Amino acid sequence: MTLQEIISDIHALNEDLEAYERKYGVLSETFYESYTSGEEPENESWVMDWADWAGAYKILLRRKEQYRGFLI
């Protein structure tokens, strides 16, 4: 990936994450900590959102790591 592609992905992922944060009223970092510790969604209809949200956050973490790799 190029640096520009990484930055573009970071911006797109942030937009996706912000939509989930508004919908569920919690920041992605806080959500992801709960998700990785095994917390289950309150409502069964949230399962797909939670899986997508966690996946998007995990990709964001990878892209930020890739970004830092370009700066070294």
The structure tokens listed for 27 are 């920041």
pLDDT for the residue 46? 86
Which tens digit of pLDDT belongs to each residue from 23-68? 999 999 999 999 999 998 888 888 899 999 999 999 999 999 999 9
Q: How many domains does the chain have?
A: 1
Q: Which amino acid is at 53?
A: W
Mean pLDDT for 8-30 is 97
| Calpha distance 27→20 (Å, rounded) | 8
Asked whether residue 72 carries a pLDDT value surpassing 80, the answer given is: no
Owning domain of residue 21: 3-71
pTM of the model: 0.90
pLDDT for the residue 43? 85
